[in-house]
Amino acid sequence: MWTRRLLPTVAVVLLALAGCSAHVPSRGPGAGSNSRAQVLDLLQKTQPCCTRFADFDFNRPLPSRPARFVIAPGLPVADFNGTRSYFLAFRLPHHHPLPYRVLLKSEVTGRWLDRSYLFAPSVVLLDAAYRPLMLQDVQQCEYIGWSNATTGALGSVEIDNPRARYMVVYTSGEQLQGSTYWEQSPTAFSADAPVKMVATGSFSIAHGPDGPLYVGIMTPRYARAVSEAICGKRDPAPGRLSAPSSAPLPSRRGFSW
């Protein structure tokens, strides 16, 4: 389901020089009105920070339960294998029992699904010496709940390596080229959904460089939502799903550092 690859203990990250900031901006009035193309253009004009993972600010602990962040201009930018991305850096809990799962839930930006996009996360786990242990392009699946906190594109990563100390969340070039399946029907809606619904139909929501993202240790409530999320078009056979060709999964090719 996920792209997962163990990386060599020595890895070179293509990052250009500047200072990294831990500031997480909040969106003010009119935020989210920029098109995907406009945000990508701004991202390309933003000076990347840091030449190595050790330069990242890992003072932010991983939330003990999913918390909402906003990936947006104002966050630090790095060049990950030739693709610039905003990123969040976290310090993992030292004494949490292994394994545990980390939720990554994106919200759709925009007021109409067919003109919206979402931030599709990629994750790198690092050891105490800031060396990559694992990288993963996270596949997310649609879930319509009864609040903004549960409605969105849900995915997760498993932390099972005792050497893992830090986590970086960004979006890879392959994620930016992909999309996520989204289904709407008269009975699938949220009481306070972040986007206007349509009566029927399905969509392929494009991936973009910014947007709201929930990150934190998985809770039972979110675990149920992840297990019930829709990853593709429903197959005529009861209980079976099939991924549509319009919503490709992340590539399984190795990530070059």
Give me the pLDDT at residue 2, please.
42
Decide: 167 and 123 in contact? Cβ < 8 Å: yes
102 has a pLDDT exceeding 50: yes
Tokens coding 73:
């201009």
Three-state secondary structure readout of 54-81: HHCCCCCECCCCCEEEEECECECEEEEC
Decide: 104 and 63 in contact? Cβ < 8 Å: no
* Rounded-to-5 percentages of helix, strand, coil across the chain: 10, 35, 55
Give me the pLDDT at residue 190, please.
42
Q: Can you tell me the distance from the alpha carbon of 143 to that of 10, in angstroms, rounded to the nearest whole number? A: 38
Give me the pLDDT at residue 238, please.
46
Give me the pLDDT at residue 228, please.
94
Tokens coding 251:
């590539």
The 10s digit of each residue's pLDDT in 126-176 is 999 999 999 999 999 999 887 888 899 999 999 999 999 999 999 999 999
Indicate the pLDDT class of residue 241, thresholds 50, 70 and 90.
Answer: very low
Place of tokens 């690859």: 5
